[in-house]
């Protein structure tokens, strides 16, 4: 197995790292599309605020099965941050859509200029962070980021039949990219989605035959693909370059929105429930999701205590050293929400 070509490390703020150096794109070109589900906005508002405070990027809020009270809260947030939230867009007021469906809706109905960008709502930033991504776009068509705190690695397991969201690399180093944080050159992205008839929601069986044959010819034919994976593969088939970079100033909990507002099962014609991934009381029981669920649950309890101004939950003592380190990272990141030194 080859080492994935990931660029990683802590990128310090400064003239070359804060977006002030000369690049093709500027922070003002960035409009992050943030999909909010259920009642997550009220809990994760401060995460979003860190991104606005430590960059000049703007956002679009996409409400996905959010109650009216949450949409009203988004509008009030937009009013308080004049010009930083370009739109509160309601993707669905009923059943929760897939993340990719919401992104496709925006891609098809909106035009934010030279870039198409996305950001998970459970990402916070601890310092200025955009410069490295903008400079990277000078030499590629897309750059992604956002390794989850809970994840040990982001390489497709041997024999795995799909490309999960947390899988950023194939075993030979091919870059699948991340669906959590991404900046695309809009023209290149739209050329690929149009040519192949795919979108961020393309998951496998819905991929047109020519695109499926292309995936197969590249050795990237799998049973199921998470958000954006098919687009990212075919973007590279079209000759574009995709780069994945980790940045220690960007902290992604992972699974927190799903923990706070899980999707509801579909009701079939005979009245029985059709459960898809995560539509259970404890999706942490699903294979490979134990750490994700555990970290998300601890994060939710930390945020609840913070909102209620009570003592944070104690560090668990019955976990191994690896999980202990993950929780320390989580707690340190959430603690920065109480010390907004650069807002």
Instruction: Give the tens place of pLDDT for each residue, 227-253.
Output: 999 999 999 999 999 999 999 999 999
Q: How many residues does the chain have?
A: 343
Q: What percentage of the chain reaches a pLDDT higher than 90? A: 79
| pLDDT value of position 22 | 57
Please say whether the beta carbons of 162 and 224 come within 8 A. yes
Please give the average per-residue pLDDT across 45-64, as a whole number. Answer: 98
> Domains of the chain: which residue ranges?
27-244, 265-338
Average model confidence (pLDDT) across the chain = 89
Alpha carbons within 13 angstroms on the beta-carbon side of residue 318 total 1
Q: Tell me how far apart the alpha carbons of residues 305 and 314 are, in angstroms, rounded to a whole number.
A: 11
- Within 10 angstroms of residue 10's Cβ, the number of other Cβ atoms is 10
Please give the average per-residue pLDDT across 104-111, as a whole number. Answer: 98
Residue 218 tokens read as 């590249």
Residue 185 tokens read as 């050159």
- Evaluate if residue 264 carries a pLDDT over 70: no
Instruction: Give the tens place of pLDDT for each residue, 61-105.
Output: 999 999 999 999 999 999 999 899 999 999 999 889 999 999 999
Please give the average per-residue pLDDT across 30-57, as a whole number. Answer: 97
| Helical ranges in 219-289 per DSSP H | 229-237, 256-260
Domain 27-244 sits in which CATH superfamily? Spore Coat Polysaccharide Biosynthesis Protein SpsA; Chain A (3.90.550.10)
Identify any residues that bridge with 87 across adjacent strands, giving them in sequence order: 60
Residue 23 tokens read as 């690049």
| pLDDT value of position 13 | 32
DSSP secondary structure letter of residue 137: T
Instruction: Give the tens place of pLDDT for each residue, 4-42.
Output: 444 443 333 333 334 444 579 999 999 999 999 999 999
Q: How confident is the model at residue 261 (pLDDT cuts 50, 70, 90)?
A: confident
- Evaluate if residue 116 carries a pLDDT over 90: yes
| pLDDT value of position 181 | 99
- Evaluate if residue 209 carries a pLDDT over 90: yes
- Evaluate if residue 260 carries a pLDDT over 50: yes
Instruction: Give the tens place of pLDDT for each residue, 151-200.
Output: 988 999 998 999 999 999 999 999 999 999 999 999 999 999 999 999 99
- Evaluate if residue 277 carries a pLDDT over 60: no
Identify any residues that bridge with 267 across adjacent strands, giving them in sequence order: 273
| pLDDT value of position 101 | 97
Instruction: Give the tens place of pLDDT for each residue, 212-222.
Output: 999 999 999 99
Please say whether the beta carbons of 122 and 165 come within 8 A. no
Instruction: Give the tens place of pLDDT for each residue, 122-149.
Output: 999 999 999 999 999 999 999 999 999 9
């Amino acid at each position: 197995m080859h080492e994935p070509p990931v660029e990683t490390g802590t990128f310090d703020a400064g003239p070359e790292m804060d977006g002030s150096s000369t690049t093709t794109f500027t922070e003002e070109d960035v409009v992050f599309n943030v999909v909010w589900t259920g009642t997550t906005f009220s809990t994760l508002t401060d995460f979003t605020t860190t991104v606005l405070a430590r960059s000049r990027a703007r956002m679009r809020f996409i409400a996905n099965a959010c109650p009216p009270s949450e949409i009203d809260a988004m509008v009030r947030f937009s009013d308080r941050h004049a010009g930083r939230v370009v739109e509160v867009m309601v993707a669905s007021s009923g059943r929760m859509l897939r993340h990719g469906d919401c992104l496709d809706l925006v891609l098809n109905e909106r035009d934010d200029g030279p870039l198409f960008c996305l950001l998970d709502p459970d990402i916070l930033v601890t310092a200025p962070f955009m410069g490295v991504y903008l400079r990277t776009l000078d030499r590629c068509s897309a750059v992604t980021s956002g390794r989850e705190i809970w994840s040990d690695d982001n390489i497709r397991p041997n024999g795995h039949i799909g490309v999960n969201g947390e899988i950023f690399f194939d075993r030979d180093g091919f870059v699948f990219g991340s669906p959590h944080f991404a900046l695309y050159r809009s023209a290149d992205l739209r050329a690929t989605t149009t040519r192949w008839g795919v979108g961020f929601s393309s998951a496998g069986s819905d991929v047109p035959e020519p695109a499926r044959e292309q995936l197969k010819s590249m050795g990237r034919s799998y049973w199921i693909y998470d958000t954006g994976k098919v687009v990212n593969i075919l973007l590279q088939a079209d000759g574009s370059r995709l780069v994945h970079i980790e940045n220690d100033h960007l902290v992604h909990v992972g699974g927190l929105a799903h923990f706070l507002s899980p999707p509801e099962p579909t009701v079939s014609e005979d009245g029985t429930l059709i459960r898809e991934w995560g539509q259970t009381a404890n999706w942490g029981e699903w294979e490979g999701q134990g750490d994700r669920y555990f970290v998300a649950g601890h994060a939710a309890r930390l945020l609840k205590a913070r909102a209620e101004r009570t003592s944070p939950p104690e560090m668990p003592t019955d976990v191994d050293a690896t999980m202990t380190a993950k929780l320390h990272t989580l707690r340190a990141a959430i603690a920065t929400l109480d010390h907004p030194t650069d807002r």
